[in-house]
Amino acid sequence: MLIVDSELCIGCGVCEDNCAFGAIEVVDGCAVVSDACTLCGSCVDSCEVEALKIEGGEKSVQVDLDSWKGVWVYCEFRAGALAPVSLELLGAGRKLADARGVPLSAVLIGADTGESAEKLIGHGADTVYRIDNQALTYFTDESYGAVLTDLIKAHKPEIVLAGATAIGRSFIPGVANSLGAGLTADCTQLDIRADDGALLQTRPAFGGNIMATIVCPSSRPQMSTVRPKVMQALDFDEARQGEIVDVAPDPASLQTKVRVLESVISEQDNVNIQESDILVAGGRGLDSEKGFKLIRELAASMDGAVAASRAVVDAGWIGYPHQVGQTGKTVAPKLYIACGISGAIQHVAGMQSSETIVAINRDEDAPIFDVADFGIVGDMFEILPLLISKIEGKRGS
């Protein structure tokens, strides 16, 4: 609980200005805390007269932190392929492991993984724990969760990273919960704190409106899911040496209550918009399903994928997996082109971390222009065909 010492408080209001959550207010010359307080501690640090403190802060059950060593990356493998984020995380994990002076290990779970383990070594892993078993052909939270939990218990790594993908965001929370470990969601930055070697995990929250840095001071492992496309993979190096350790899963962990009856891979579009470098997004301004074809054409001309606002998904012009925003997906491609999208806050929440944003809209006051790096004010039906032919011309030459 955040305690205000009314004797010490001078009612200066510095804490009020420092609180990102508007949870502290000076009333009659003394700070008062409301229920919106998240106990983040910003105000405690800001108070010059030390009138604020957080009580009951330490978790009472501490684990022996020094007995946990090494950095692990869960490397997602589905439908015969490694997820690109796995290699990105080996790049990030390598840096963390070197900073800590510990080895980097990869965990590969699936069936018929072929040469994947060698690939993981070439991209930075010192050790690959490979659990290749026909019963793991399909992802289930229970089997993948049990296998990873058992391995973590046996080897006690200090850090475990996984991609913030549909699979990672589904079973990693279960693993963390059963280990009693802290888990930070959707990280975009990872660093080692100099004083104590703790993992500093930075992530956006409140739809990207604030960034928070999170630590797990007294529990291990420190776990994070990390957004695709933010970390850098190392180039493949054939000469890199590593060890592949085949692990037989405990038969009990392959028994699941959830049964996968069928796995449907969408063939129609590239639906995994979170892994795409270029996204072309269309909004209600396209007017009709037919109009929306222009978006597909523009995307095709640049080898990008198609995204959409909720209005378009609700109208049925494209499926929900393509929806960007607060109730859709959060994306951060290198290039996001928003066409006929007004830029409602719920849409912007899902795309504002894109590297470059282009907006095309006939309304010069549309809020989408506030987040755009380049904007064109005009009629899409005139602009898009010209843009497509221009791009095709440029790429063709």
Ligand X SMILES: Cc1cc2nc3c(=O)[nH]c(=O)nc-3n(C[C@H](O)[C@H](O)[C@H](O)COP(=O)(O)OP(=O)(O)OC[C@H]3O[C@@H](n4cnc5c(N)ncnc54)[C@H](O)[C@@H]3O)c2cc1C
SS3 55: coil
Residue nearer to another protein on the CB measure, 8 or 345: 345
| Partner from ligand X, another protein, none contacting 375, C-beta within 5 to 8 A by type | another protein
Name beta bridge partners: 161: 73, 224
For 22: left if phi > 0, alpha if psi spans -120 to 50, otherwise beta; the answer is left
Of 233, 218, 230, 225, give the one whose Cα is nearest residue 201. 225
Pull the structure tokens for residue 96. Answer: 């963390």
Shortest separation between residue 246's beta carbon and another protein, angstroms:
27
In the complex, the residues that contact ligand X under the rule CB under 6 A are: 38, 183-185, 203, 205, 210, 212, 214, 283-285, 309-312, 323-328, 340-342, 344, 346-347, 350, 361-363, 366, 379-381
Dihedral over Cα of 208, 211, 213, 214: its sign: negative
Partner interacting with residue 362 (select from another protein, ligand X, none; CB below 5-8 Å by kind): ligand X
Task: Please enumerate in sequence order all residues whose Cβ is within 8 A of that of 127, keeping only pairs 6 or more positions apart, or say none.
Answer: 103, 104, 105, 106, 242, 243, 244, 245
Q: Which is nearer to another protein, 244 or 335 (CB)?
A: 335
Minimum CB separation of residue 268 from another protein in Å reads: 10
Rounded distance between C-alpha atoms, residue 249 and residue 245, angstroms:
12
CB of 371 to ligand X, least distance (A): 13
Q: Which does 37 bind (CB under 5 to 8 A by kind): another protein, ligand X, none?
A: another protein
> Smallest distance from the beta carbon of 138 to ligand X, in angstroms?
24
165 binding partner (options another protein, ligand X, none; Cβ < 5 to 8 Å by kind): another protein
Spatial separation of the C-alpha atoms in residues 176 and 190, rounded to whole Å: 18
**Helical (H) or strand (E) element with 118:** helix 116-122
Of 274, 267, 264, nearest in space to 351 by CA: 274
> Closest distance between another protein and the C-beta of residue 206, in Å?
6
Our CB check for another protein shows the closer of 57 and 114 to be 57
- If contact means CB under 5 to 8 A according to the sort of partner, which of another protein, ligand X, none does residue 133 touch? none
